Structure 1
Amino acid sequence: MFQAIYLTQDDHRATHATLEQLDETQLPEREVWVDVEWSTLNYKDALAITGRGKIVRQFPMVPGIDLVGVVRESASSEYSAGDRVLLNGWSVGEKYWGGLAQQARVDGRWLTPLPPELRPFSAMALGTAGYTAMLCVQALERQGITPERGPILVTGANGGVGSIAIVLLKQAGYQVIAATGRSDQRDALLALGASEVIDRNELNQPAPPLGKARWAGAIDSVGSHTLANVCAHTQEDGAVASCGLAQGMDFPASVAPFILRGVTLCGINSVTRPASERQDAWQRLARDIDQQQLAGLTHTIALNETIGAADQLLAGKVRGRIVVDVNR
């Protein structure tokens, strides 16, 4: 038997989340059986648990888009019993049972070897958010956005992606502008590495076709009017990495930044990246991240606290990352 967050749907399509004792025979038949050590609670997980977003594709479901653990059994040639592995993406927690459980069975191709320099807890303190932040940084680098080009804007700066992006950019030598709606977190963002903090209200109204050039690049996890404003204020030949839609999926923008300033909009798909790109991103995270500083961005909850924490996360009352100790 093992514990898991278990999602069901009633005849009225309402989602019900409970902490359940499940039998090992209920696990799906997949290549690799993992004893999970740590998971996370992400925005997408919170939407799935509360039923406020159409995240779950089939019920019953064990949510959790991240996990780290030890291989118990493997039918994959890539992994053997005792290997430490991590997983994020691949629609786990949406179409396939995920990591908010003490055990998981997954496809071998979904897994990434845990870099030896990275502690299992730190891997989940990063999780999908940190991995996505690194993909964004790498996208800006590929577009030639060096620290000498000018500041980088990070929207949603108090969220998981935003806070880790600030740390990574600072570590790489960039000047960082953080946009947030939580003025009480200004000092915390400066401590992370931001050199300037602006109010998100500067960006969440309808955007002009083209605005004053303010930053060389940006990492945006918000979308909608915010992303349109970010692009409108990006410098010539700048780049914007778009990885989220907290404000909305729409993009009410003009083509002006792209055809008059040569701005590049880079879409970041963190869900189905090939193994080589995943391993490269995680190896760099292991090398570049300050694991002690990372711990300061994180708080830990037990598996039985996850359902309540989902409401807090969606209410905007959580700063940084939530790591879930699935065995507590």
Structure 2
Amino acid sequence: MQINHNMSAVTANNHLKRTEDAVTASIERLSSGLRINHASDDAAGIAISNKMHAQIKALDQASRNASDGTSVIETADGALNEVTSMIQRMRELAVQAANDTNTTTDLEAIQVEITALKAEIDRVSTDTEFNTMTLLDGTLERRTYSSDSSVVSNITVADDVQVGTYQIVVNDVTTDGTTDASITLGAGFSDTAEWTASGNYITITDENGFEMSMTVKKAGSTATLEVTDLGQMTLQIGANEGQDVDVSIPRIDTQSLHIDEIDVTIEEGAGEAIALLDEALAKVSATRSKLGAYENRLDYSVSSLDAFEENMESAVSRIEDVDMAEEMSEYTKQNVLSQAATSVLSQANEIPQQVLQLLQ
């Protein structure tokens, strides 16, 4: 019988400490609702969950980014709706002016309204903004540069035109609007590319949605066009680098629509105006269709991102969250063991007292 080393008490105390640690950990899990409260709880699990939390936050922001992009497109489309109405009114006026029952004074009065509508279209182009960014002045359009703006200007390209260098040879231009300009297609264009002309306005089309349009000015000259990927609005609609979509909104004003010089007071002016306004209306409608496609894509992106985020949340929950029923059972077990160990330790501490009986 020993009194310096009460091994029974030491053993009971060690078990009590371990049980109390288990009870403390169980209480922490029950109170926090988390299975992993410290890295030591699950080293691999906490590493995985931290990465997933970063993804979840990024997905949530990407969804908001896509919604902001939708707002930009809706703003631009709303402005283009008014442009459409103004073009339709101008066309109505041009049809009215084409009737020979009008006097010179009547035509001048009609032209006054047409001029005012042209000015308003240009104002809409420069004043339509979202978060101080102008939307319809070409700021958000793919940039194409001409080596000589005196030869070729007012260039627009479709989204499907590849970045690169294209060469145009201007053979002839028109000065009175009665003939069409002509070009030779040089380097950069494929053998299947074709061009059409309406006055000095040239449109080049090819397979796979290739379309490029411009105004040619000087005959017997060559211009090199550099198509870049600059200017488009890039929307980050994913949680990782490179998960984005480019939105291109072309310049919409009287010059880009080729209606800036409409004049119904001159001979054949009304008839020419009708044709030009039809083309302008078609271009605005095509632009609105493209914006509609962007908007639909972004709507689907938001739905996809939200579903992705929901699934990620569910996955993190399976890694981090505690099973309350199972943990409550564990807590009850450890609590009972703690009480039992406390009782046994009390009895073990009484064993050395028996030595006193030998000393009496």
TM-score tier (shorter): under 0.3
Asked which structure has the greater CA Rg, the reply is 2
Bigger strand fraction: 1
Question: What's the TM-score once normalised by structure 2's chain length?
Answer: 0.24
